[in-house]
Amino acid sequence: MYNFEDILQRRNNGSKKWNEEYIEKRFKVKDAANYYPLFIADMDFKLPKEVIEPLMEFIALGDFGYFDIKEEFYNSILKWYKDRYKSEIKREWIVPSIGALSTMNVMVDKLFKKGDSILVFTPAYGPFKDVVFNNGMNLVSYKMKLNNNRYSLDFEEVKALVEKEDIKGLIICNPHNPSGRCWSKEEINDIINICMEKNIIIISDEVHGDLDLGNNFNTFSDYLNKYKNIIVLSSPNKTFNIAGLEISTFLCSNEEMKNSLEEELSKRKLHPNRVGTRALTLCYENGSPWVDELIKNIKENLDLTVDMLNVEGISTMVPDAGYLLWVKFDNISDIDDFIIKLAQEKKVLLETGSRFIKDHEGYLRINVATSKAILKEAIPMIVEFYKEYIK
Ligand SMILES: Cc1ncc(COP(=O)(O)O)c(C=O)c1O
């Protein structure tokens, strides 16, 4: 029904992933035409007409003045959670906001004191470090265990670390970026129990959750009734590739905390934009059938990519959710050097593991949310280059 091979034509239309000037600078290459960008977490797929057409109608009205968020915005989120997660969230928990990271930045500043210790599980999404450091806090990392090529937590160790470091907050990526690992209900229970005991605030970043590849995703929002120190950040940005519209929402069942965060956003004049709020509403109202097909397509692309990477020395960590593949290359001591030389010699652009927080040695990340035609050309070149590189 939807054609995921007919991708957006993005070269030099301002898309960061396809911007020649940006690519030349970042990958130290000259003449960035004809590159294969598989780095930034951004999809090349076209949105369905069910979303685009009503959005065009809205834009054609030409009214972009000051505005109030309509009830349909909240209703679309309530319905999305109910239909896709069987999760009964409450209208009064929802706070519309700007981009997820900008929101997290304000949250961390408001909720914690300078010098407070914030825990992340590593390897972790790089910008979490900025969020913590920007606000004068202390980043504590727990190195996840690697069992059968899958990350996990040892809860006794986490508990001991929480006590030792007097942790005040946890920023958890659910599903985990870079590995796409979803946390099970049992794991979420254990995390919540540890945090409840110590009154730790949990910020669960769930922006990749909609792209669950097989009933793996469990949202922390199911625990908002029970535990009042949880904030769930969610967004259509990854699911529908609308990051450029800077819209996200967060859920908070703690009225006092929610009010103080809303006040802070308002004080800083950080309001969502009108097109973004309309786009979110339309994505959630009309986009479900497209997301189902998108997920099937992502699975196919992952299978294809994993198949092509099935070579000695390369191990892929197949995600539970999302379109990002975390890949380990043996015998590479400097992954940044590998990434740059791969770009220079084979024109394939990947995300280096060193952009993530800690425990990324030998890893890189491949974004498969593009056409199969591109993957079929680019992935064999990675393998070919790897063999030449380690010789
Ligand atoms: C885990 C995670 N959180 C947040 C973001 C960024 O969200 P936003 O663009 O809404 O700030 C990303 C983008 O890749 C992400 O992977």
- pLDDT (tens digit per residue) in 43-76: 999 999 999 999 999 999 999 999 999 999 999 9
- Regarding the beta carbon of 249 and ligand 1, being less than 6 Å apart is answered no
**Mutation to probe ligand 1, out of 173, 204, 237 (largest number of atoms < 8 A from CB):** 237
Distance CA 234, CA 337 (A): 34
Q: Which residue's CA lies nearest to atom 2 of ligand 1? A: 207
Say how many Å lie between the CA of residue 187 and the centre of ligand 1: 23
Ligand 1 closest atom vs CA 177: 1
The reported pLDDT for the residue numbered 1 is 84
- Regarding the beta carbon of 101 and ligand 1, being less than 6 Å apart is answered yes
- Regarding the beta carbon of 242 and ligand 1, being less than 6 Å apart is answered no
- Regarding the beta carbon of 177 and ligand 1, being less than 6 Å apart is answered yes
- Judged on CB neighbours under 10 Å (0-12, 13-18, 19+), 40 is middle
Q: What is the Rg, in whole angstroms, of the alpha carbon atoms belonging to the chain?
A: 21
Answer for the pair 38, 367: CB distance below 8 angstroms, yes or no: yes
Cβ atoms within 10 Å, residue 54: 16
Say how many Å lie between the CA of residue 238 and the centre of ligand 1: 8
Distance CA 287, CA 378 (A): 30
Contacts of 347 (CB under 8 A, 6+ apart): 29, 34, 35, 36, 381
Write phi, then psi, for 264 (nearest 5 degrees). Answer: -65, -45
Say how many Å lie between the CA of residue 88 and the centre of ligand 1: 24
Ligand 1 closest atom vs CA 101: 11
**What one-letter code names the amino acid at 259?**
N
- Regarding the beta carbon of 207 and ligand 1, being less than 6 Å apart is answered yes
Distance CA 310, CA 175 (A): 25
Distance CA 162, CA 182 (A): 22
Q: Which residues pair with 363 in a beta bridge?
A: 328
- Regarding the beta carbon of 248 and ligand 1, being less than 6 Å apart is answered yes
Number of helical H runs and strand E runs in the chain: 12, 14
- Regarding the beta carbon of 235 and ligand 1, being less than 6 Å apart is answered yes
Say how many Å lie between the CA of residue 101 and the centre of ligand 1: 6
Say how many Å lie between the CA of residue 292 and the centre of ligand 1: 21
Say how many Å lie between the CA of residue 108 and the centre of ligand 1: 15
Domains and CATH numbers, the chain: 16-47+288-390 (3.90.1150.10), 67-286 (3.40.640.10)
Say how many Å lie between the CA of residue 231 and the centre of ligand 1: 15
Q: Which residue's CA lies nearest to atom 15 of ligand 1? A: 207
Mean pLDDT of each 10-residue bin along the chain, 391 residues long:
95 92 94 90 97 98 96 98 95 97 97 98 97 97 96 97 98 97 97 95 98 96 94 97 97 97 96 97 98 98 98 96 98 96 97 96 97 98 97 88
Distance CA 73, CA 274 (A): 11
- If we measure between CA atoms, which residue out of 190, 144, 136, 125 comes closest to residue 168? 136
The reported pLDDT for the residue numbered 33 is 81
DSSP 40: S
Say how many Å lie between the CA of residue 207 and the centre of ligand 1: 6
**Mutation to probe ligand 1, out of 16, 42, 101, 121 (largest number of atoms < 8 A from CB):** 101
The reported pLDDT for the residue numbered 240 is 98
- Regarding the beta carbon of 42 and ligand 1, being less than 6 Å apart is answered no
- If we measure between CA atoms, which residue out of 121, 104, 73, 81 comes closest to residue 222? 81
- Regarding the beta carbon of 111 and ligand 1, being less than 6 Å apart is answered no
Distance CA 197, CA 160 (A): 12
Contacts of 316 (CB under 8 A, 6+ apart): 305, 306, 309, 325, 326, 327, 328
- If we measure between CA atoms, which residue out of 223, 249, 219 comes closest to residue 234? 249
Give the start-end residues of each E strand in the chain: 36-38, 94-97, 117-122, 138-143, 145-147, 150-152, 167-173, 201-205, 230-234, 248-252, 314-317, 324-329, 348-352, 363-367
State the residue for tokens 């797929």.
Answer: 45
Residue 37 CA: distances (Å) to CA of 242, 323, 357: 18, 14, 22
Distance CA 287, CA 354 (A): 34
- Regarding the beta carbon of 205 and ligand 1, being less than 6 Å apart is answered yes
Q: Which residue's CA lies nearest to atom 7 of ligand 1? A: 100
Preceding omega of 54 cis (within 30 degrees of 0): no
